[in-house]
């Protein structure tokens, strides 16, 4: 679609949205939310970048839209690219083209927007390239692999006036939105602690070694900005989450959803003012490097955000395993999934239930913002994604700076962190959980990070040069991060 055709389409879409609104006000059913009124020539042209597990969900989401056509699949894996193109061709009656190299893909002016579901180490760069090429972007969480590149992505989105949505779909779920409105309306009083739980079983990923890259994959392109190193895990796809050069551990995998919800519940639009984290990879030795057991405590003035990752077998905590527990002065609220939860008063009596979700709401919200050219309509604008992703990175920075300390000595160290008394209680629960997994928490060596203070506006640590170097990484040319003046 040419720029002019696209603009006229967007105008038509806005008018269609207005008339759909009028119809709905008149009590008449309308399927405009799914873009039903677009003729095939007016469809937005979409490229899916990274068509593995999550890319498959993007594809289904877009195939369900009547106002979108998938014209391109970009994946460095020939098998994945070919398979996806075949399947989409059958489903939509128009076979997309497979383009392995994102830079070539973005040269195509006919593409209106891209969705990105590559591994994390590519997210920000891929989104920056796409915005610079004039595309709107739906980019998976976490939007960044480190704090600085996330902020750079926000800058580039604003400068080029592009719509960039983060893949934290809970933000569009009606059940979650009701719960947040209830919290922000004082339903549980003043929020004191936001707890995020990522209790998700993660098994060993196989021995560290040197493995051949599967045929048909452009490994250099897959590595992109990451250092050129051989493949050291048996399973090529997905398990990169557990190696630092590519993933961010479970904080940046499942955990980012709940981290984002905690920050939303606290109603904060900056990163935290302090962070401390400890953890380890316990119970097995494998090719993974990230923690499977980790606690992060983030400070927002007198309010706390306490995050727990458990990858070994575990019981629920207060009825939740992957979820959030928001504690207030008049009660608490628990969301035990992406869209379902309950609020309790101070006596533990149930006062309200919340339910309702589905990824389609988030895609619809993105496409509404694309049509109206108004990023403020986004439920998960890239800046929200950046801030919550940054909280995960801050936790990992503190833990990775940590000194090895035997579990028996950890509580004494944690007690030093004044204003974070909750840490000792959380550690005790963690230790019980490790005992239940046939390990001796007293002798396990935890990486116990320092308590680091931050300037939340400048997004830098105030007193640690070492921590500040970890806000970014070395980028392998030519996949370098543009400077602020270059975006
Ligand atoms: N929002 C959610 O609920 C949700 C759920 C699952 C995954 N995710 C996110 O989606 C992302 C992908 O996860 P996954 O499980 O699909 O991983 P995956 O490893 O299965 O798939 C990644 C795909 O990207 C391709 N790829 C890698 N580098 C590329 C590049 N430079 N250009 C084009 N393609 C490239 C790979 O070949 C692979 O097919 C992750 O960042 C994850 O956090 C989000």
The pLDDT assigned to 2 comes to 41
Q: Taking Cα atoms as reference points, which of 128, 172, 112, 138 lies closest to residue 54?
A: 138
C-beta of 81 in contact with ligand 1 (< 6 A): no
Position 443 confidence tier, pLDDT thresholds 50, 70, 90: very high
C-beta of 216 in contact with ligand 1 (< 6 A): no
Q: Which helix H or strand E contains 192, and what residues bound it?
A: strand 191-199
Answer yes or no: is 373 within a domain: no
Residue 212 CB coordination number (10 Å): 9
**The pLDDT of residue 3 is above 50:** no
Are the C-beta atoms of 141 and 356 separated by less than 8 Å?
no
Position 26 confidence tier, pLDDT thresholds 50, 70, 90: very low
CA of 458 from ligand 1 middle (Å) equals 30
- What domain range includes position 458? 174-356+383-486
**Can you tell me the distance from the alpha carbon of 314 to that of 120, in angstroms, rounded to the nearest whole number?**
27
Half-sphere exposure of 6 (CA within 13 A, CB side): 19
**Can you tell me the distance from the alpha carbon of 452 to that of 130, in angstroms, rounded to the nearest whole number?**
34
C-beta of 118 in contact with ligand 1 (< 6 A): yes
Q: Are residues 248 and 391 part of one domain?
A: yes
pLDDT digit string, tens, across residues 227-242: 999 999 999 999 999 9
pLDDT digit string, tens, across residues 87-103: 999 999 999 999 999 99
C-beta of 53 in contact with ligand 1 (< 6 A): yes
Q: Are residues 164 and 246 part of one domain?
A: no
Q: Are residues 97 and 128 part of one domain?
A: yes
Half-sphere exposure of 296 (CA within 13 A, CB side): 35
Which phi-psi region, left, alpha or beta, contains residue 28 (left: φ > 0; alpha: ψ -120 to 50)?
beta
Q: Are residues 182 and 100 part of one domain?
A: no
**Can you tell me the distance from the alpha carbon of 112 to that of 117, in angstroms, rounded to the nearest whole number?**
17
The pLDDT assigned to 9 comes to 43
**Can you tell me the distance from the alpha carbon of 386 to that of 288, in angstroms, rounded to the nearest whole number?**
25
pLDDT digit string, tens, across residues 124-148: 999 999 999 999 999 999 999 999 9
Phi, psi of 52 (to 5 degrees): -80, -140
Collapsed DSSP state (helix, strand, coil) of residue 272: coil
Q: Which helix H or strand E contains 81, and what residues bound it?
A: helix 78-92
Select from 171, 193, 218 the last residue of a domain: 171
The residue ranking higher by pLDDT, 16 or 480, is 480
Q: Are residues 225 and 131 part of one domain?
A: no
CA of 329 from ligand 1 middle (Å) equals 40
The pLDDT assigned to 416 comes to 85
Q: Are residues 456 and 401 part of one domain?
A: yes
Q: Taking Cα atoms as reference points, which of 258, 250, 224, 464 lies closest to residue 341?
A: 258
Q: Are residues 238 and 251 part of one domain?
A: yes
* Bridge partners, 454 (sequence order): 461
pLDDT digit string, tens, across residues 379-424: 999 999 999 999 999 999 999 999 999 999 999 999 888 766 688 8
Select from 123, 146, 171 the last residue of a domain: 171
């Amino acid at each position: 679609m040419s720029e002019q055709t696209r603009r006229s389409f967007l105008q038509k879409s806005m008018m269609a949205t207005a008339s759909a609104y009028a119809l709905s006000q008149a009590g008449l059913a309308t399927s405009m939310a799914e873009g039903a009124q677009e003729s095939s020539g007016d469809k937005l042209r979409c490229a899916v970048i990274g068509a593995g597990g999550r890319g498959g969900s993007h594809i289904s989401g877009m195939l369900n839209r009547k106002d979108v056509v998938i014209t391109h699949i970009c994946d460095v894996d020939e098998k994945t690219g070919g398979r996806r193109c075949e399947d989409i061709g059958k489903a939509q009656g128009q076979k997309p083209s497979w383009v392995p190299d994102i830079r070539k893909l973005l040269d195509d002016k006919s593409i209106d927007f891209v969705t990105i579901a590559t591994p994390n180490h590519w997210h920000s760069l891929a989104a920056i390239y796409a915005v610079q090429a004039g595309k709107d972007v739906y980019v998976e969480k976490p939007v960044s692999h480190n704090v600085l590149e996330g902020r750079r992505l926000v800058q580039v989105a604003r400068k080029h006036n592009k719509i960039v949505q983060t893949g934290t779909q809970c933000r569009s779920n009606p059940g979650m939105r009701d719960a947040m409105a209830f919290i922000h309306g004082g339903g549980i009083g003043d929020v004191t602690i936001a707890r995020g739980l990522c209790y998700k079983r993660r098994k060993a990923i196989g021995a560290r070694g040197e493995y051949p890259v599967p045929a048909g994959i452009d490994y250099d392109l897959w590595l992109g900005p990451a250092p050129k190193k051989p493949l050291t895990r048996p399973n090529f796809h997905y398990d990169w989450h557990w190696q630092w050069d590519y993933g961010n551990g479970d904080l940046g995998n499942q955990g980012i959803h709940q981290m984002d919800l905690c920050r939303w519940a606290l109603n904060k639009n900056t990163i935290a003012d302090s962070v401390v984290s400890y953890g380890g990879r316990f119970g097995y030795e494998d090719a993974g490097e990230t923690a499977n057991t980790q606690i992060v405590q983030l400070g927002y003035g007198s309010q706390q955000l306490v995050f727990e990752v458990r990858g070994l077998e575990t019981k629920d905590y207060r009825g939740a395993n992957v979820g959030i527990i928001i504690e207030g002065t008049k009660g608490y609220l628990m969301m035990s999934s992406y869209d379902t939860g309950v609020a309790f008063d101070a006596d533990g009596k149930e006062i309200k239930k919340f339910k309702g979700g589905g990824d389609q709401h988030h895609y619809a919200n993105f496409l509404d913002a694309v049509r109206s050219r108004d990023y403020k309509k986004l439920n998960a604008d890239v800046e929200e994604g950046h801030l919550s992703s940054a909280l995960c990175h801050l936790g990992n920075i503190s833990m990775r700076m940590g000194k090895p300390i035997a579990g028996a000595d950890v509580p004494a160290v944690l007690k030093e962190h004044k204003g974070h008394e909750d840490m000792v209680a959380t550690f005790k629960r963690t230790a019980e959980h490790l005992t239940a997994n046939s390990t001796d928490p007293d002798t396990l060596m935890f990486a116990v990070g320092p308590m680091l203070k931050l300037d939340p506006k400048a997004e830098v640590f105030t007193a640690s040069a070492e921590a500040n170097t970890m806000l970014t990484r070395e980028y392998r040319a030519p996949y370098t991060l543009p400077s602020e003046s270059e975006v």
